[in-house]
């Protein structure tokens, strides 16, 4: 029997990947059984399904830090996702991990983010009885919401998406790489955006962080990435340790204090919170105003869960437009 292309890739993984890697042929499988592709490995298929999803495309109009920024160079949730993917793939390749699995997790990790970023997430978590966390919502997107039946991804990708934030620990080393890459990406690109916006200056950053990690964006990225790669190659574990890790977490604390909480970058936050809360209350009272595909799920999932699903899927601009259409009077026009 002639070996197909997928099987050749699986054989190649066995030869070139590290013992730390997750082999695609050893996947725990999907929620629903499917015939395998003759060309792509299981993790390659997952990556492709995520890239071609509507949820992935909507990330380009969702907030990273700055709500609806007017400048062309501020990050959005999509560009953040791409930067996480690049950082994670670089480390995975250097360590000998499965780059396809790493990329799939990275591209899918924020699919469940709300409009207005963590601001929208915080509002839904406060007002919904069951709470709301974007990592859990990302898993809902790939399991149930996208294409009305989910993307039916492998267990390894699903685990990495769920465990990329908070105290959850991914089961695979590829998932652990993405979890660290997420932090490395947002710490550094948010510094870049905050300096561009005049929120902070380079001189405001703690000197010990600059001395340890580097003065420029690229220097800091290289220092952090190299530290994780070297630790993995030396000790066989994915961990951010030593002075570089300590300086990174100090830099993260600096960003929370000076950018993420109470800075001018958040001056529109109260308006965004009001928008999300009012939409949530409105759709609870008027569920018939949601699309039919959501209305059909109310009996199965409950009204609040469905309203959260609908709002979380909105982009910033769609949420603002919906708010305007519902709550702001339109000028009366005489029909001739």
Percent of the chain with pLDDT over 90: 89
Contact 45, 96 (CB under 8 A): no
Q: Which backbone phi and psi does 169 adopt, to 5 degrees?
A: -110, 120
Please report the DSSP string for 118-167 in residue order.
HHHHHHHHHHSTT---HHHHHHHIIIIIGGGT----BHHHHHHHHTTSTT
Structural domain boundaries enclosing 143:
40-315
Residue 3 has pLDDT above 90, yes or no: no
Q: What is the CATH number of the domain that holds 118?
A: 1.10.3210.10
Percent of the chain with pLDDT over 70: 97
Contact 312, 332 (CB under 8 A): no
User: Do the domain assignments include residue 246?
Assistant: yes
Structure confidence at residue 268 (pLDDT): 83
User: Do the domain assignments include residue 113?
Assistant: yes
Longest dimension (CA), the chain: 79
Structure confidence at residue 97 (pLDDT): 98
- 14 to 26, 29, 113, 307: CA distances (angstroms): 11, 18, 35, 45
The torsion angle over the Cα atoms of residues 182, 187, 191 and 192, rounded to 10 degrees, is -30
Write the DSSP symbol of residue 258: I
Mean pLDDT score of the chain: 94
User: Do the domain assignments include residue 115?
Assistant: yes
Match 């501020």 to its residue by tokens: 74
Write the DSSP symbol of residue 30: B
68 vs 109, which has greater pLDDT? 109
Write the DSSP symbol of residue 113: P
Residues in the chain: 336
User: Do the domain assignments include residue 21?
Assistant: no
Q: What is the Cα 68 distance to its own chain's centre?
A: 18
Q: Which of 260, 153, 145 is closest to 199 using CA atoms?
A: 260
Structure confidence at residue 236 (pLDDT): 97
| Mean pLDDT value of segment 126-138 | 97
pLDDT band at 260 (very low <50, low <70, confident <90, very high): confident
User: Do the domain assignments include residue 29?
Assistant: no
Q: Which backbone phi and psi does 76 adopt, to 5 degrees?
A: -115, 180
Segment 76-103, tens digit of pLDDT: 999 999 999 999 999 999 999 999 999 9
Least confident of 61-70, 137-146, 188-197, 238-247: 61-70
Contact 156, 28 (CB under 8 A): yes
Structure confidence at residue 69 (pLDDT): 66
Least confident of 19-33, 71-85, 123-137, 285-299: 71-85
Structure confidence at residue 279 (pLDDT): 98
User: Do the domain assignments include residue 266?
Assistant: yes
Q: Decide: helix, strand or coil at residue 76.
A: strand
pTM: 0.95
175 vs 72, which has greater pLDDT? 175
User: Do the domain assignments include residue 9?
Assistant: no
User: Do the domain assignments include residue 47?
Assistant: yes
| Mean pLDDT value of segment 187-204 | 93
Q: Decide: helix, strand or coil at residue 4.
A: coil
- How far is 25 from 219, CA to CA, in rounded Å? 37
Query: What would the two tokens of residue 11 be?
Result: 């054989």
- 98 to 9, 20, 95, 311, 326: CA distances (angstroms): 11, 9, 9, 34, 47
Query: What would the two tokens of residue 19 be?
Result: 């013992």
Question: How many distinct structural domains can be found in the chain?
Answer: 1
pLDDT band at 2 (very low <50, low <70, confident <90, very high): low
Structure confidence at residue 265 (pLDDT): 66
Residue 145 has pLDDT above 60, yes or no: yes
Structure confidence at residue 68 (pLDDT): 66
């Amino acid at each position: 029997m002639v070996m197909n292309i997928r099987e050749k890739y699986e054989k190649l993984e066995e030869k070139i990947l590290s013992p730390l890697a997750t082999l695609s042929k050893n996947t725990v499988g999907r929620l629903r059984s499917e015939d395998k592709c003759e060309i792509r490995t299981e993790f390659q298929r997952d990556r492709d399904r995520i890239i071609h999803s509507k949820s992935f495309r909507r990330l380009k109009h969702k907030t990273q830090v700055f709500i609806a920024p007017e400048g062309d160079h501020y990050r959005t949730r999509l560009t953040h996702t791409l930067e996480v993917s690049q950082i994670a793939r670089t480390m995975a390749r250097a360590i000998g991990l499965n780059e396809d699995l790493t990329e799939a997790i990275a591209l899918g990790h924020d699919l469940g983010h709300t409009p207005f970023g963590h601001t929208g997430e915080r509002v839904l978590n406060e007002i919904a009885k069951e709470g709301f966390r974007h990592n859990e919502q990302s898993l809902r997107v790939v399991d149930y919401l996208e294409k009305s039946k989910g993307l039916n991804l492998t267990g390894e990708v699903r685990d990495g998406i769920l465990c990329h934030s908070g105290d959850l620990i991914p089961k695979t080393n590829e998932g652990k790489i993405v979890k660290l890459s997420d932090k490395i990406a947002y710490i550094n690109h948010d510094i870049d955006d905050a300096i561009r916006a005049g929120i902070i200056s380079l001189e405001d950053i703690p000197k010990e962080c600059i001395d340890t990690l580097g003065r420029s964006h690229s220097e800091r990225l290289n220092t952090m990435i190299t530290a994780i790669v070297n630790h993995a190659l030396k000790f066989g574990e994915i961990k951010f340790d030593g002075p570089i890790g300590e300086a990174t977490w100090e830099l993260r604390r600096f960003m929370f204090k000076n950018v993420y909480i109470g800075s001018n970058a958040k001056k529109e936050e109260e308006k965004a919170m009001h928008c999300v809360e009012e939409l949530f209350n409105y759709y609870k009272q008027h569920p018939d105003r949601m699309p039919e595909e959501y209305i059909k799920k109310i009996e199965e999932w409950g009204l609040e869960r469905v309203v959260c699903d609908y709002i979380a899927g909105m982009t910033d601009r769609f949420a603002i437009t919906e708010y305007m259409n519902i709550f702001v009077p339109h000028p009366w026009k005489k029909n001739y």
